[in-house]
Amino acid sequence: MADFPKSIKKEFTRLMWLANDRETEVELNKLEEQFRLWRDGKIPPGILSDLIHAWHEGPNRELWKKYSLAGSKVHSWLVANAFLDGVLNDKDISENVRESFLPYLEKAIDAQKALFGIDESDEVEEVEVNEELSKKWGFPIANDWTAAVYRRWNS
């Protein structure tokens, strides 16, 4: 992580683990559906056991690698990407970390732009802009985070 004060580093770390918890919860909810099917007698215990194993070796392991193996130098990048993906929201980012966070958010937007092959000439559908968040962050932010990424380049 950049040369941030300890309090900022601590906040990025907190946000990173919050993102991890939220992504893990999404994956656990998918697994919970399989438990429901088992309780309803629609799948046998052996199948459920295999699904648990597959969850552990698949989504759970990927999230563990993404977050647990991340050195402190990438916490801010993980947070920026989690913000753009809608895992974290504006209410999660405290005022004291906001200024330090903006450069990482800008670079994450550029990376997503490159990933999706979007350039400045691409037409974007109109989206509803959240005026309060846009004022706070200094650039247009839509209520739909995916649209916000596209909207950012055409402002």
SS (H, E, C) the chain: CCCCCHHHHHHHHHHHHHHHHHHHHHHHHHHHHHHHHHHCCCCCHHHHHHHHHHHHHHHHHHHHHHHHCCCHHHHHHHHHHHHHCCCCCHHHCCHHHHHHHHHHHHHHHHHHHHHCCCCCCCCCCCCCECHHHHHHHCCCCECCHHHHHHHHHCC
The answer to the question of residue 143 being in a domain is no
Structural domain count of the chain: 1
Task: Flag whether pLDDT at 104 surpasses 70.
Answer: yes
The confidence band for 5, taking pLDDT boundaries of 50, 70 and 90, is confident
The answer to the question of residue 142 being in a domain is no
The answer to the question of residue 145 being in a domain is no
The answer to the question of residue 15 being in a domain is yes
What range does the domain containing 107 cover?
6-115
The answer to the question of residue 146 being in a domain is no
Looking at per-residue confidence, does 138 or 7 come out higher? 7
- For residue 150, the model assigns a pLDDT of 43
pTM: 0.68
- For residue 111, the model assigns a pLDDT of 74
The answer to the question of residue 40 being in a domain is yes
Average of pLDDT values for 67-77?
77
- For residue 32, the model assigns a pLDDT of 93
